[in-house]
Structure formats: structure tokens, C-alpha cells
Structure 1
Amino acid sequence: MRDYSALEAFPELRRLAELDNAGWSFLPRTRTGGVPVVKGFYRWCENTRDLIIVSGIGDVVGMRNDPGDWRVWEYTGGLAEVVDALQSLPHPLLPHAPRLAIGHGQTLWVPPGAGGGR
């Protein structure tokens, strides 16, 4: 059972809890200067990954990387906006899912076999 007591103090974090409950994995990291950064990922069946990088409630990036680690989708904004955008992305195997590379993927080390597949 997870401890969600931080949600009482920071209700905005409920959006991250929604992702956590949907099978996402989170890797807390610290940035130079000690600013905490939370990184999360969801690994799809074809090794496509959705990623979220939270530097602050209003400083969040969501992206999707293809199996070659090329970024095919990216959205920047507040926590709620980015979570909504990630949740609205279609399954990577559906015809209308983003596929065209827009840049090389964000470097986020993901342990082998970590994360589930939807």
C-alpha cells in the first residue's frame, strides 16, 4: 500500500498518483543545485515509452519516444495539462498515434524490464 499523505498537502500531485495507479514507474532524481525533479515512464508493449519530467507544478514536460528512442510527441505545461495530454495519447499501435520523429529522445535511464505494457 502506498502512502499518499503528500496529496493532502499538495493536491496537484493527485495527477501523478493517477499515473502511478495506471502502471507508471517513477524515478526521483535531483538536479544540479539540489532542485528535486521527478521522472516517470510508462513502457508500452513495443518498447515505446511515454515519459513525464516534473521540475515543478508549472514546469512539466511529457513526451513519447519510439523504440529507437526518437521523440515522436512532446507537450510542455503545467502538471494537470501534461497529464491530461499524456492520458489522451492513443496506443502507439493505433493508426492515428504519433510516429514521425521530432528529435532524439530525452535521456532517461529505465531499468530493463521495468514498467508494464498496456
Structure 2
Amino acid sequence: MKVNPWQSRRRLRCSLFSVTLLAITLSGCGTIRFTHDLSDERQTTEGKSQWHHGTLDGMIEVSQPKNLYRTCRGKPWQEVKVQYSVYNGITALTVAAGVGAVVPVLDAVSLWTPWTVTTVCAE
């Protein structure tokens, strides 16, 4: 029985895509939530998200610490969520692949580690 080379390549591509998708899905994404329990029932604003940048696998922070007073314009904060999402991971992986292609020695270390920080303020 002859195997069509196009079918075997297609099957290989599907397998590689499936393995890549599975690896991304099972990657180390995580979320940390900090909540500030306010005694009275205050309304909250919609969360403001921005990226926080690190380098050398997140050991060195490049971005300044989040200033909650400035972000909430003097009002109390309700919640801060720090998240390493699939989107952050894909972006970091793309940059790492580009850098690794130019300087293969840097494949062992992630030069850029982005995190998404979302702040919810109280009214």
C-alpha cells in the first residue's frame, strides 16, 4: 500500500499543531489576586490593565512598581490582579524565539517576562 506524501505531511502538521496547542494550554499561566476589604459597600470602577515588564526569567523588574494611589486618583483600591496569561506567554515566546535565532546562547534564559496587572478602584 502506497502512502501519499502529502497526506503524511498533512498528518505531521496536524500532530505538530496539536502538540503545540496542548503545550500552550498546559503552560505555566498563573494569577495572584490582592483584595482590599472595604467595610462599607462602595461601587467599583472597571479594572485598568497594563503590562509589567521583567527580565532574566522575571528575576529583575524593568517596570516601576504599581502606584495604586496614582492609579486610583487618591481613592482606595479594591483589587489588584497580577496575571501571567497565555497571551503574555505567547508574546514572550515569540520574542525569545527571535532572540534565540540570532543569539542561540540566550535560549536558556527568558530576556523578557511580561505580566498583566489589573487594578480595580473603589468609588
Larger radius of gyration: 2
More helix by share: 2
Whose RCO is larger (CA < 8 A, sep 6+)?
2
More strand by share: 1
Q: TM-score, normalised by structure 1?
A: 0.25
